[in-house]
Amino acid sequence: MYDYDAFFRKYPVNQHDAIGEHHARFASIASLCRGKVLDIGCGTGSLADYFFGDYTGLDISKVAIEKAKEVRRKDAKFFVYDCTDLYAYDLENFDTIVLAEFLEHIEDDEKIFDAISKKAKKDARLIITCPNGPRIPDESHVRELTIPELRKKFSKLGKIKFYNWTHANLQILCSVDLNQKNDNLVSLVMIVKDEESGLERAVLSALEFVDNIVISVDDKTTDKTKDVAKLYADVLKTFTFQDDFSAARNFAHEGVKTKWCFFLDGHEYVAKRENLEKFLALENDGLLVSIELENGLTFPNPRFYRTGCQFEGAVHEKQNCKTTILYPDFLIKHDRLSAQSKAASIARQLQRDEMTPRIMLGQLKKDPKNLRALFHMGNYYQARGEFKKAISSYNRYLKFSKNIQERWFVFFQRCMCFSALGKRFRAFFAISRADWELKGRWETKKMKGLLLFQKEKYQQALEYFVASFDPTPYETLYRPLLRDDAGTWNLIGECFFNLGDYDRANTAFDRAADLTEDKTKKEFFKKRAALMRDILKQTLSK
């Protein structure tokens, strides 16, 4: 058996500070504790410095307990006890039982959990932390544990929840509310290929609200994607891609038992999540959430869909949900730049670029009114700089579509295409038509201001730029621009400068500097403001 007395003689009381997680881990544990707390394998009792209620710590090391009594608060209780057998201990007096960095030190935990199951309060809470697989190697560890292993073990005892805390990639943190039923509401379902860089962040971003994780790995993967997946997947699958993304996704969610599926790609992550339980209680088949691309373009997709719904379409696949509802309090960010290797990102884009025209144009030959194909071909041509072809696809889409939100977006994209071709009059007409579809959108006003600015109609541009500060008074599905109030104030400053109003230009540039968090831009705007003040002084001195 490992000599823990020797360990605690050798190292200082707060030895765990060395790996930089000490404070965050114990603060996270303390936030989950309630009532009377029993800390099993407490070491030198660090948790007593973070949880200030009724606290009892047990450890097999006499040296650790002696140090704990010396340095921790006087009302904390510490006892030497062999925690590998808890049958003789009075567990029913405690509301919370903590096993922090304990399980990896013992080979057999059956006696521990059998005792907890039989003797602990029926509504007690377990809190467990341990290294995430092999992430924190140590000579005293006798085994490695993963989230799938812990979920399988503890879900028998009660409702289990895992937490995406500060160092979740290093150490697992979970709680188990004894004798409560697991929700079994949501399964995270992923298909991945060469996603080693971003997969872990993607999974962790969804960890707290999913009850099951399914990861299906492409058998052509060349990096360590599968190794990362093993740390998190309750169900790990391998698939062979057959020129059909919908088939891959349907294979991945096959066999899922939860009420909902949630899909996320390995280069995405959940950036916002509010009111999820409220929306999961609705009767709809799909929840439309926002996906934000690297360039700021945001579009809707029913990433939450009822188990049983199937994907269709070999490329730009979609779920066949009969009824969907907008879930505005949820945001997924797409991030190939930092979450996927350059080679993998290029390969994925080339694959999409080859599949999109081949498959979508084939669909249009069969059905020239296929709105989905027309929409995606317009996006495809626009992204490739083939603006005339994009406009042609968008025009055909607008001829048949009745979807107001999508029509607004397509008119906006037509405006962008005409602007790129230098046809500003047609661009202005296109953005005006967008305003007929959905009035009052700030993006429409901003774009009109930009077009007028390019035509050197600065007074008119000013009016639209100022109007664009007003938020859109309703929920929108497609958002082609990120709000950039600092950038808009800069444009207002340029308008005033060109109109010879240097005082107001100075004010506008100062406002731009105040609003931006980018240090380079802030310095640039400040220099512009200073230049306006200099010009104004020179003008007044004449």
- Residue 157 shares a structural domain with residue 222: no
CA 268 to chain centre: 7
Please say which residue of 181, 214, 245 terminates a domain: 181
Distance, in Å, from the CA atom of 535 to the CA atom of 527, rounded to the nearest integer, reads 12
**99 belongs to a structural domain:** yes
Query: What's the predicted TM-score (pTM) here?
Result: 0.92
CATH number of the domain that 281 lies in?
3.90.550
Q: How many CB atoms lie within 10 A of CB 198?
A: 24
Check residue 5 and give its pLDDT: 87
Q: How many domains does the chain have?
A: 2
- Residue 142 shares a structural domain with residue 3: yes
**120 belongs to a structural domain:** yes
- The per-residue pLDDT for range 507-520, each reduced to its tens digit, is 999 999 999 999 99
- Residue 126 shares a structural domain with residue 163: yes
**236 belongs to a structural domain:** yes
- Residue 218 shares a structural domain with residue 322: yes
- Residue 191 shares a structural domain with residue 298: yes
- Residue 124 shares a structural domain with residue 46: yes
Check residue 18 and give its pLDDT: 45
- The per-residue pLDDT for range 62-113, each reduced to its tens digit, is 999 999 999 999 999 999 999 988 998 999 999 999 999 999 999 989 889 9
Collapsing DSSP to helix, strand or coil, 124 comes out as: coil
Q: 35 is in which domain, residue-wise?
A: 1-181
Question: CA separation (Å) from 427 to 50, 255, 431, 454, 471?
Answer: 61, 50, 6, 12, 23
Distance, in Å, from the CA atom of 199 to the CA atom of 386, rounded to the nearest integer, reads 33
Check residue 542 and give its pLDDT: 64
- Residue 214 shares a structural domain with residue 328: yes
Q: How many CB atoms lie within 10 A of CB 114?
A: 12
- Extract the tokens encoding 409: 């977006």
Check residue 16 and give its pLDDT: 54
- Residue 207 shares a structural domain with residue 333: yes
The residue ranges of the chain whose pLDDT is under 50 are: 17-19
Distance, in Å, from the CA atom of 126 to the CA atom of 32, rounded to the nearest integer, reads 9
**71 belongs to a structural domain:** yes
CATH number of the domain that 5 lies in?
3.40.50.150
Please say which residue of 302, 324, 350 terminates a domain: 350
Check residue 539 and give its pLDDT: 82
- Residue 122 shares a structural domain with residue 211: no
Report DSSP state, residue 18.
Answer: G
Check residue 302 and give its pLDDT: 98
Check residue 17 and give its pLDDT: 47
Reference 495, options 527, 452, 524; nearest CA is: 452
Check residue 238 and give its pLDDT: 98
**268 belongs to a structural domain:** yes
- Residue 152 shares a structural domain with residue 288: no
- Residue 78 shares a structural domain with residue 17: yes
Please say which residue of 181, 206, 228 terminates a domain: 181
**431 belongs to a structural domain:** no
- Residue 23 shares a structural domain with residue 124: yes
**11 belongs to a structural domain:** yes
**451 belongs to a structural domain:** no
